[in-house]
Amino acid sequence: MSDRASWQPAPDLDEADLHQHLTTLEGWRQFVADAPRPPELLPTVHWERLDAVDQRADAEARLDYHTRLTVVATSALRQVVHTGRRLILLNRHAISARRGLIVSGAAGTGKTTAIAQFGKTHELIDRQHHPGVGGPERIPVVYVTVPPVATPRMLAVEFARFLGLPITPKANITDIIEAVCGVCCDTRTALVLVDEIHNLQLSTRAGAEVSDTLKYFSERIPATFVYAGVDVDRAGLFAGTRGQQIAGRFGLIATVPFPYAAEWQGLVATLEGALRLHHHRPGTLVRLDRYLHQRTGGMIGSLSHLLRGAAIEAILDASEQITKATLDGVGLDHAAQQRHRSRARDRAGTAGTRRQHQAAHS
C-alpha cells in the first residue's frame, strides 16, 4: 500500500454507527440531533392484508425501532439533569474551583444514559440560546471516556479525538493539552462529561497523574465537569489528598437498582407503551412487573435489554406479542442471571425450611 493511499477521509457513518461513537464530535452531534420517531403501527386488519414484501418492510422498520434504546425519564435521570443544570449556572462566573458532579452506581443502572441525556439537554438549550451560531463555532458539550490503564497523554488524546484535532505519533502532551484547552475556550464549552471514571486508580502513579491532568483541564476550561463510573466512591476515587480535593468539589449522585415500587411499575408501563407489536395486549408486562423485577434485579439496563430482546423475538417468530414464555427465552447479562439464580435458591431454601418446621411441629 502506498503512503498516499494509506489514508482516506472519514467515512460517512450511518445513524446506527454514530450512536456508537459518542466520543467523536460528529457522533455526538448526531446523537443530539437524533429524535427517532416510532414507526406507525398499522391496524391489524390492514397489516394482515399487506403482501409479503410490505410485511417484510414493516417488520424491518419495527425491528430497527426496537433495537434502539428507549430513554425513560427516571428519577435518577431527572436528578442528574436538574443538578447538573444548577451547577452549570453556579459555575458560570467562577474563575476557579468550579463545582462538579459524579454519577456513581452499579453497572446497568443508567449512568451513561443519564449523563448523555444531560449533555443532550444542555446542548439543545445552548442551541436555543444561540440560534444561527451552529456548526463548529460552538461546542457546548465534550464527551470523553477514560481509557483503561490510562496515562495523562491518553486522556489528552481522548479530548483531542473528540474535538477532531489531528494527532500524530510525534505529538507531545503539552501541545495536545494546549490545543484542547484553546479550542474548548474558543468554542464556549460549558460541560465536560467524563465517563468510565472508575478506570482511574488514584492508588497508582499513572492514575494519580491522570487525576492531576483532569484537574488541570478543569482549571483551564471554564466548564462544569461531570464524571460517571461504577461505584467510584468505593473504588477509592475519594481517597488520599487528591481524593479529598475531588470530594470537596464534586457532588455525588448514586444510581441504584429500582426497588419494587410504584416507579418500577411506571417504568415497565412506559416501556410497554413504547412497544410496536401487532398482537401484544397492553398491560401484559405490567402484570408481570414482579417477575421482571426478579429477572433484572431492578436494573433499568437489564430491563430494557430484556424487553427489546423479547420484542425482536416476537417479530422474528411472527407471534407479535410478548408473553412470559418469550421473556424466559431471552438471556440476560451474567450479573442479572446470577442475581436471579441466587434469589431463586434463597426462595427454595426458605420454602424447604418452612416445610421442615411444619413437619417437625406436626
Partner 1 sequence: VSLREAPEALRRLPIDVRPNPAETVASYIQRLANANHLRSGYLRAYLCGPPDYHGSPDLERLAAVSGRPVSVLRRALTNLPPAPPIWLQDVTDPAVRAVGRKVTSSGKVSFANREYAVGRDFAGEMVQVTCIHSVVQISQHGKLLRAWPRRHPPAKDASIQPDRSHDRGELALDQAARLAPLDDLATDPRVVRRRVDPNGAVSFAGRYYTAGRWLTGHVVQVRCVNGIVQLILDGELVRAWRQRHTPEREQRMLQRPNPQQRTANARPLTRRHGADSLGQQPAI
Task: By CB under 8 A, name the binding residues for partner 1.
Answer: 1, 3-4, 6-11, 24-26, 135-137, 139, 163-166, 168, 170-171, 175, 178-179, 181-183, 186-187
Closer by beta carbon to partner 1, 182 or else 331: 182
Helix (H, G, I), strand (E, B) or coil at 335: helix
Burial class (CB in 10 A: 0-12, 13-18, 19+), 328: exposed
User: What is the rounded radius of gyration, in angstroms, for the C-alpha atoms of the chain?
Assistant: 24
* Nearest distance, CB of residue 30 and partner 1, angstroms: 14
- Which cell numbers in the block locate residue 195? 465517563
CB of 146 to partner 1, least distance (A): 21
> Which residue lies nearer to partner 1 by CB, 190 or 303?
190
Judged by CB, which is closer to partner 1: 25, or 235? 25
Shortest spacing between CB 101 and partner 1, in angstroms: 25
By CB neighbour count within 10 A (0-12 exposed, 13-18 middle, 19+ buried), where does 286 fall? Answer: middle
Minimum Å gap between C-beta 28 and partner 1 is 12
In whole angstroms, how close is the CB of 187 to partner 1 at the nearest point?
6
- Nearest distance in Å: CB 182, partner 1: 3
Rounded Cα gap, residues 27 and 119, in angstroms: 13
Greatest pairwise CA separation for the chain in angstroms: 88
Complex with partner 1: residue 76 or 183, whichever CB lies closer: 183
Nearer to partner 1, 168 or 362 (CB): 168
Strands 100-105 and 141-145, sheet pairing: unpaired
Axis-axis angle for helices 205-220, 152-163 (nearest 10): 40
Minimum distance between the CB of residue 192 and partner 1, rounded to whole angstroms? 15
Least distance in angstroms from the C-beta of 191 to partner 1: 16
| 257-260 CB contacts, 8 Å cutoff, 24+ apart | 257/106, 257/109, 257/297, 257/298, 257/299, 258/74, 258/293, 258/298, 258/299, 258/300, 259/298, 260/289, 260/290, 260/293, 260/298
- Closest of 80, 49, 105 to residue 258, by C-alpha: 105
Q: Which is nearer to partner 1, 1 or 52 (CB)?
A: 1
CA atoms of 150 and 153, how far apart (whole Å): 8
Pick the closer one to partner 1 by CB: 6 or 358.
6
Closest to partner 1 by CB, 3 or 40:
3
Q: Which helix (H) or strand (E) holds 349?
A: helix 334-361
At its nearest, how many Å lie between partner 1 and the CB of residue 126?
16
3-state secondary structure of 342: helix
* Whole-number Å distance between alpha carbons of 346 and 48: 46
Q: Which amino acid is at 117?
A: Q
Sign of the torsion angle spanned by Cα atoms 105, 107, 108, 111: positive
Task: State which residue, 17 or 64, has the beta carbon closest to partner 1.
Answer: 17
Q: Which amino acid is at 53?
A: V
Spell out the residues 6+ positions from residue 67 whose beta carbon is closer than 8 angstroms to its own: 308, 312
Judged by beta carbon, residue 114 or residue 179, the one nearer partner 1 is 179
Q: Is 120 helix (H, G, I), strand (E, B) or coil?
A: helix
The residues, any chain, with a CB within 8 Å of residue 325's CB and separated by 6 or more, are none
Least Å distance between CB 217 and partner 1? Answer: 14
